Amino acid sequence: MQEITGSELSPRKAEYLKYIYSQGEVVRTTDIATQFSVAPSTVTKALSEITDAGYLEHSPYQGVSLTPAGTTYARFLFRRHRIIALALSRYGLEPDEACREASKIEAHVSKDLVNRICKSLGHPIMSVCGKIEHDHNCCCPPN
């Protein structure tokens, strides 16, 4: 896999990946369709494309699970969201408002910009949305 830029997946597919990550093990297509209020066929098509990109493994009649690359990418997606939300909260937005607004713009923010924001905030470990996980490929050097 190539280095993450932040624009590998469409915003909707990125949301599916985040949902799968948050659920843990194998996630059924119908669960994703219900969560996002879309037809199962819509989810199936998107999951097929995410699988082709190398982020998911599909087990017919079972569901999907993240590949190691999918886990790495999902962690980046959560990190990006939480850093953007934290930055927005510093400009006076309430926590829930910062989280909602971050969701609207995060797909347009590159990994490089996320790293710059992270550095400017002093490499925070907590956001208004939850814990910020840093990997050793981000702007934080390994301990």
Structure tokens at 93: 């937005």
Reduced to 3 states (helix: H, G, I; strand: E, B; else coil), residue 56 is: strand
Residue 10 CB coordination number (10 Å): 13
Backbone angles phi, psi at 9, to 5 degrees: -125, 155
Residue 1 has pLDDT above 60, yes or no: no
Tell me the C-alpha to C-alpha distance, in Å, between residue 13 and each of 33, 100, 137: 12, 18, 23
**Between the CA of residue 127 and those of 38, 43, 72, 120, 136, what are the distances in Å?**
30, 30, 19, 14, 19
pTM of the model: 0.90
Instruction: Could you list the beta-strand ranges (E) of 40-143.
Output: 56-59, 63-66
Give tens-digit pLDDT for 4-20: 888 899 999 999 999 99
Length of the chain: 143
98 pLDDT band (50/70/90 cuts)?
Answer: very high
Q: For residue range 17-73, what is the model confidence (pLDDT) as tens digits?
A: 999 999 988 999 999 999 999 999 999 999 999 999 999 999 888 899 999 999 999
Contact 33, 39 (CB under 8 A): yes
Q: How far apart are CA 117 and CA 135, in angstroms?
A: 15
